[in-house]
Amino acid sequence: MPALKLRRALPRPTRRRVVAGAAVVVLVAALVTWAALPERRSWTATDQRLTVLSGPSGTEPVALDTRFYLPKDRDGRVPAVLLAHGFGGTKDSVSGDAESLADRGYAVLTWTARGFGASGGEIHLDSPDHEVKDAQRLLDWLAARPEVRTDAAGDPRVGVVGGSYGGALALLLAGQDPRVDAIVPLITWNDLGRAFFPQSADGVTAPGVFKKSWAGLFFGSGSSSPLERDRPAVPGDPACGRFAADVCAAYLKMATTGTPDAATTALLRRSSPATVLDRIKAPTLLVQGAVDTLFPLSEADANARGIARTGTPVRVAWFTGGHDGGEGPQTDRDRTKFLTATWLDHYVKGDGGAPANSFTYSRVTGFSALDRGLVANGYSDPDYPGLGGTGRTEVTVAGPAQPVANPPNGNPGGLSSLPGVGGQLSSLLGGVAGDLPGQHAEFDSAPVTDAIDVVGAPSVRLRVASPTGSATVFVKLYDVDPNGTATLSGGLIAPVRLTGLPRDITAAQPVTVTLPGIVRRIDSGHTVRVVVATSDQAFLTPADPAVYTVAVEPAVTLPTVVGTPIANPQVVWRYVLLGVLAAIALGLAAVLLLRRRRETPPVAEFADTPLVVRGLRKAYADGFVAVEQVDFRVERGQVVGLLGPNGAGKTTTLRVLMGLTMPTSGDALVFGRPLVPGAPILSRVGALVEGPGFLPHLSGYQNLRAYWQATGRPLEDAHFDEALEIAGLGDSVHRRTKNYSHGMRQRLAIAQAMLGLPELLVLDEPTDGLDPPQIAEMRRVLRRYATDGRAVLVSSHLLAEVEQTCTHAVVVNKGRIVAAGPVDDIVGESPSVQLSVSDVTTAATVLEGLNVRSVQQDGKSGLIVDMNGTPREEVVASLVRAGVGVDRVVPRRRLEDAFLALVGDNSRGSGDR
Amino acid sequence: MSSAATGYRPSATMPIRAEIRRQASRRRTQLALGFMVLLPLIILVAFEFGGGGDDDNGGGAFSSLVDLATSGGLNFALFSIAVSASFLLVVVVALFCGDTVASEASWGSLRYLLAIPVPRARLLGVKLVVALGYSLTALLTLAGTAVLVGTLRYGWHPLGSTVAAEIPAGEGLLRLLAILGYLAVVLLGVAGLAFLLSVLTDAALGAVGGAVLLWILSSILDQITALGSVRSFLPTHFSDAWLGLLSTPMQTDDVVKGALSAVCYATLFWSLAFYRFTRKDITS
């Protein structure tokens, strides 16, 4: 029946299996649920379009797309955070930060700045009359909210946080509105004019070199929003997109000429926090990126100095990231988040002590092996040292004055960074930088003897001669490893535009060039290379070809800071690992100590009996009972046969005797000691159960040797020669066992069981596969073995086998003993005879006349006669005299009677019962 | 008074030396260790014949290992280890640990060992120690051959990496040993899994194959970033963390977490294996 088969094939559901299975299911379900369920939000968010009155007159309405987050669990009024997004973003760009701030118990207002996303209005570049005024109106709105804590009527308790465009807004708003309680501007500018027209030559006031690629990206992202479909259709100007007319005009002009005119300068000035720093009273945390070619560290430095001048608390943190480097490594993100939270908690919420004034920064130490991101170590220094570092190291570079060519229209141009491909930190640090031959001059130092921790802005002194009197060059500082691989830290370069230059280099006056601030360790053995190049793809260079001559003074100043490493929170895992290892060691020791159990004392009564089996029962986990009740004994000198049909429970009994299977109840005692798995008494038992088990790749001899080695007993105790003689394999003993015939393996297995001449030998179907002469030999061997106080237990399903080999027999059927005793008792001649006669009726009559006990018909021509001592020849003679033909006379034997009577003619094994 | 036969002591059964010899005589042991010697030679020949074929498609830190492989013996060894770590070594360790008990069961020799009697815990302990020993030998053979062959062919040079500065040869060798140590620890996870399966099944192939399959499954799941933090609990999640040991200073955070994960998994699997084996009926 298929259903039954299936039931057999599947493991039966025992109690233990059910419990284990349920535990696994529950565990997996819990893990999946935990992973799959969305986190329970601790806040609510409301989207709302707020129309605020703004503009120079304060009467122009503009609709702002806002979202207001409120912590669900709040005690009274909560402090607020105004969270501004970066250029080209929307309120959605900062949702992650907003959520985590709301989690910390702040009411958070995010909004899409005018000109972006679904908000109305045009982009005025953080103009005080527009974007900043919008934000002031949002402060009014916050102050009116019943959930928001206020300092006075109309004055909310609020911090302003934002990155880049939003960071400048925070600074400008804090400068324009005293209601702001703290600000955290990230990766933002101090002076937009300087950011777009950087000039690295000290003391030169003329605008620098136009940073065309960043400006283009900025302008591009404002004129074509990625969220095009979300915003109301803007009629208009394909050139200007959503930029306000004045901003657009300024861009078009400066991008065309490469120099800002007065109006553009004024416009950029208006959008720069530099103008309001002295009015900022809100404690300021400035976070700036060291991999940022748009707003380098010098912007934050200028902001920090400007704000600190008025006594306002300022803290500066640098991280490895920025407009080029992205959010940076995880440790940096965590640090920025932590600094922001503690800053707001103290200055806005009023929780926690005043944050330290320490300066923190990070240095890349390598790749993360797992996500291919960068890994940085954090460092701190008690005070912000500025870009000059706390110390300085001078490195001497050498090289003659060299001519360098300015390519027409800057093409081909050198490469230092890839603006707009944010987050590709690894490629940036790996060096996308490339200088073109003929367009750059190199000045190399000798290998540095000690590693230099550069933290800040290096400076060099440069001399330039130009036939036109002016020159635009880019100064770069490379770290060159001993293999010659040059790395430009952060892709940062110093653009210099000089005028009034002599034609001859000898007449050129040195100018000091301050390079962008970097964080880098120059390892010992590395060299410092100063490169002066004429072109860079990120900048607009003079269109006309020219050949300049450049020279660099030998002394290069490198600012250094020896920071204190910030403890990495991951270090805790080391202690966890150590703890786990210690726990494992303790656990192991405990298990070893507890398991060291003493051998049970022998049952004195049976201390000299090779084997006593008492009430043995074995039920398997699926409910099948292989052995119901088995009791028997094996005495010294006996060869006991365990006789029974297949499946009677013989093998299970023998498995218990080998310590492979634990009996359900009852026990087996060898010399009085119970047989349990691993009981030392097993060393006095030799066994062959369920066929031989050999390593197929070893020869018979090697197998026996390997087996004996595993016993750990002395070699001389093994009696190899006797065992090999019993195996009788001849030279074949040196062949691999996998090539053996069944009989050869069987003999080898018997030999293995006899190794060490164990006092009790247990053999399961030993003659299986042997030919008749070998069987005869085996019988002799077993009889002989059982002398000297040894005993043998042989199992068989063959009657003749037991009869001829054993001194005693135990008959099992269906898991029970049905007969036991000396073979002679059982196997001796039976009082009955089986006759085959020609005439059954006559024969029966004749036989009844004789002195027999009973006559029974057996088949058509057969009779079974209980002779009751009457000699067989007399019976035959009587029958023949009566004219009955006798075809056969077969003596019957007792064991056969017993076997058939007890076992029945049912050929099915107990396994089927 | 002990009841045992003369000369029998439970703690003397199944001597480690005997088990080492038992495994050494097997063809799969010889082949596996032989292949560990052969692999660096094959890689070397491939580099010798395959020069010039520059199809660098930017595989990050890994491709840089290829570029640097011929720059010296240490880098050659590093490359050989890197290409073997994710699969070959897993298979080899699974082979040594998964086959050891299951093959005895399938030959039928397990029951005779237990009838000696070798105490079950001792049998497992010895089997495990020897299997781990062979696994470590395989790892060291691979690395040793690679260092030797690479140094003979490409010379003794500092260990280069694109991540950080070159590491002087002496320290580079230490880094290489640290990487091998970490790999050995990570592979404990496979060893534990294979050993557990070896105890649960009588089919040696099932234990080895099962362990490798589950390991691959874990690697695949680890690729699915949508699983989020669950991935950190996958036994293979930190298997590449040894790359962090190449940077200066060494990145040990993930190494520590990986070691923790591997130790926990191995302990769990081995505990289950011992628990099960010391209680079950041997039916093979």
- Report the residue from B5, B10, B162 with minimal CB separation from A684: B5
pLDDT digit string, tens, across residues B7-45? 888 888 999 999 999 999 999 999 999 999 999 999 999
Class of domain A43-381: alpha beta
Predicted pLDDT at B60:
47
The count of structural domains within chain B is 1
In-domain check, residue B100: yes
In whole angstroms, give the CA distance from residue B280 to residue A153: 78
B13 to A658: CB separation less than 8 angstroms, yes or no: no
> Is A901 an 8 Å CB contact of chain B?
no
- The stretches of A806-893 forming alpha helices (DSSP H) are 823-827, 840-849, 872-881
A479: chain B residues, CB-CB within 8 Å: none
In-domain check, residue B261: yes
Instruction: Mutation target for A interface from B1, B2, B6, B8: give the one with most A CBs within 10 A.
Output: B8
Q: What is the mean predicted confidence (pLDDT) over A688-713?
A: 91
For chain A, positions 879-898, list CB contacts with chain B under 8 A.
none
A-chain residue closest to B225, CA distance: A371
Percent of chain A exceeding pLDDT 70 equals 90
Q: Which of A741, A784, A778, A780 is nearest to A763 (CA)?
A: A778
Predicted pLDDT at A726:
82
- Split at pLDDT 50, 70, 90, the class of A158 is very high
Domain ranges of chain A: 2-36, 43-381, 387-564, 604-825, 828-912
Instruction: Mutation target for B interface from A24, A367, A664: give the one with most B CBs within 10 A.
Output: A367
Predicted pLDDT at A291:
87
Predicted pLDDT at A227:
43
B259: chain A residues, CB-CB within 8 Å: 577
- Split at pLDDT 50, 70, 90, the class of A7 is very low
A693 to B227: CB separation less than 8 angstroms, yes or no: no
In-domain check, residue B231: yes
A369 to B267: CB separation less than 8 angstroms, yes or no: no
- Split at pLDDT 50, 70, 90, the class of A373 is low
In the block, residue with structure tokens 């702040």 = A106
Q: Is the pLDDT of residue A228 over 50?
A: no
Q: Which H or E element spans position A837?
A: strand A829-837
Predicted pLDDT at A612:
92
In whole angstroms, give the CA distance from residue A598 to residue A656: 21
In-domain check, residue B52: no
- Report the residue from A365, A681, A697 with minimal CB separation from B247: A365
pLDDT digit string, tens, across residues A773-783? 888 888 888 88
A678 to B10: CB separation less than 8 angstroms, yes or no: yes
B256: chain A residues, CB-CB within 8 Å: 570, 573-574, 577
- Sequence letter at residue A98: A
In whole angstroms, give the CA distance from residue A380 to residue A389: 13
B243 to A367: CB separation less than 8 angstroms, yes or no: yes
pLDDT digit string, tens, across residues A256-306? 888 888 888 899 999 999 999 999 999 999 999 998 889 999 999 999 999
B21 to A706: CB separation less than 8 angstroms, yes or no: yes
- Split at pLDDT 50, 70, 90, the class of A534 is very high
Helix or strand or coil: residue A521?
strand
Q: Which of A701, A79, A713, A691 is nearest to B108 (CA)?
A: A691
pLDDT digit string, tens, across residues A446-504? 999 998 999 999 999 999 999 998 899 999 999 988 878 888 888 889 999 998 889 88
- Sequence letter at residue B185: V
Predicted pLDDT at A436:
86
A-chain residue closest to B264, CA distance: A580
How many CA atoms lie less than 13 Å away from A812 in the CB half-sphere? 31
In the block, residue with structure tokens 């591997």 = B262
pLDDT digit string, tens, across residues A521-532? 898 889 999 999
A573 to B260: CB separation less than 8 angstroms, yes or no: yes
Predicted pLDDT at A299:
93
B221: chain A residues, CB-CB within 8 Å: none
B164 to A31: CB separation less than 8 angstroms, yes or no: no
In-domain check, residue B189: yes
> Is A580 an 8 Å CB contact of chain B?
yes
Q: Is the pLDDT of residue A372 over 60?
A: no
- Report the residue from B12, B19, B163 with minimal CB separation from A366: B163
Six-digit token string for A302: 């200028």
Common-topology check for domains A43-381 and A604-825: yes
pLDDT digit string, tens, across residues A625-681? 889 999 999 999 999 999 888 888 888 888 888 888 888 999 889 998 888 888 888
**A828-912 classified as CATH 3.30.70.100:** yes
- Report the residue from A573, A678, A683 with minimal CB separation from B253: A573
- Report the residue from A370, A581, A690 with minimal CB separation from B263: A581
Range of lowest pLDDT (A371-380, A383-392, A554-563)? A371-380
B165 to A481: CB separation less than 8 angstroms, yes or no: yes
Q: What is the mean predicted confidence (pLDDT) over A183-187?
A: 94
- Report the residue from B26, B160, B251 with minimal CB separation from A368: B251
Predicted pLDDT at A229:
44
- Split at pLDDT 50, 70, 90, the class of A598 is low
Helix or strand or coil: residue A104?
coil
> Is A594 an 8 Å CB contact of chain B?
no
The bridge status of strand A158-163 relative to strand A180-186 is parallel
Topology of A387-564 in CATH?
A: Jelly Rolls (2.60.120)
Predicted pLDDT at A458:
94
pLDDT digit string, tens, across residues A748-763? 999 999 999 999 999 9
Q: Which one is predicted more confidently, A579 or A873?
A: A579
Q: Is the pLDDT of residue B240 over 90?
A: no
Q: Is the pLDDT of residue A198 over 80?
A: yes
B115: chain A residues, CB-CB within 8 Å: 658-660, 682, 685, 687, 689
For chain A, positions 704-743, list CB contacts with chain B under 8 A.
706-707, 709-714, 717
B25: chain A residues, CB-CB within 8 Å: 695, 697-698, 702
> Is A696 an 8 Å CB contact of chain B?
yes
pLDDT digit string, tens, across residues A560-593? 998 888 877 778 889 999 999 999 999 999 988 8
B121: chain A residues, CB-CB within 8 Å: 595
**A604-825 classified as CATH 3.40.50.300:** yes
Q: Are A642 and A633 in contact (CB under 8 A)?
A: no
In-domain check, residue B142: yes
Predicted pLDDT at A592:
86
B189: chain A residues, CB-CB within 8 Å: none
> Is A37 an 8 Å CB contact of chain B?
no
Q: Which one is predicted more confidently, A54 or A31?
A: A54
For chain A, positions 650-679, list CB contacts with chain B under 8 A.
655, 658-662, 671, 673, 677-679
For chain A, positions 437-496, list CB contacts with chain B under 8 A.
481-483
- Report the residue from A367, A690, A709 with minimal CB separation from B61: A367
A368: chain B residues, CB-CB within 8 Å: 244, 251, 254
B254 to A370: CB separation less than 8 angstroms, yes or no: yes
Q: Which one is predicted more confidently, B73 or A29?
A: B73
Instruction: State the complex-level ipTM.
Output: 0.90
In whole angstroms, give the CA distance from residue A19 to residue B211: 25
Q: What is the mean predicted confidence (pLDDT) over A23-46?
A: 77
**Angle (CA) A353 A356 A359, round 5°:** 155
Q: Which one is predicted more confidently, A589 or A35?
A: A589
- Split at pLDDT 50, 70, 90, the class of A901 is low
Six-digit token string for B6: 């003369």
Q: Are A302 and A190 in contact (CB under 8 A)?
A: yes
Q: Are A276 and A495 in contact (CB under 8 A)?
A: no
Total number of residues shown for chain B: 284
- Split at pLDDT 50, 70, 90, the class of A327 is confident
- Report the residue from B18, B111, B244 with minimal CB separation from A660: B111
Predicted pLDDT at A4:
45
Q: Is the pLDDT of residue B104 over 50?
A: yes
A714: chain B residues, CB-CB within 8 Å: 7
Q: Which of A40, A5, A138, A17 is nearest to A81 (CA)?
A: A138
Predicted pLDDT at B165:
62
| CA distance to A319, A367, B158, per residue, from B163 (Å) | 19, 6, 14
In-domain check, residue B51: no
Predicted pLDDT at A5:
47
Instruction: Mutation target for A interface from B30, B109, B113, B161: give the one with most A CBs within 10 A.
Output: B109
Question: How close B80 comes to chain A (CA, Å)?
Answer: 17
In-domain check, residue B258: yes
3-state SS string over chain B? CCCCCCCCCHHHCCCHHHHHHHHHCCHHHHHHHHHHHHHHHHHHHHHHHCCCCCCCCCCCHHHHHHHHHHHCHHHHHHHHHHHHHCCHHHHHHHHHHHHHHHHHHHHCHHHHHHCCCCCHHHHHHHHHHHHHHHHHHHHHHHHHHHHHHHHHHHCCCCECCCCCCCECHHHHHHHHHHHHHHHHHHHHHHHHHHHHHHHHCCCHHHHHHHHHHHHHHHHHHHHCHHHHHHHHHCCCCCCCHHHHHHCCCCCCHHHHHHHHHHHHHHHHHHHHHHHHHCCCCCCC
A-chain residue closest to B257, CA distance: A573
In the block, residue with structure tokens 């992973």 = A35
In whole angstroms, give the CA distance from residue B283 to residue A445: 76
Predicted pLDDT at A432:
59
A483 to B21: CB separation less than 8 angstroms, yes or no: no
Q: Is the pLDDT of residue A906 over 70?
A: no
- Split at pLDDT 50, 70, 90, the class of A422 is low
CB pairs under 8 A between A and B: 204
DSSP-derived letter for residue A347 is: I
Range of lowest pLDDT (A93-102, A601-610, B139-148)? A601-610
pLDDT digit string, tens, across residues A66-125? 999 999 888 888 999 999 999 888 999 999 999 999 988 999 999 999 988 888 888 998
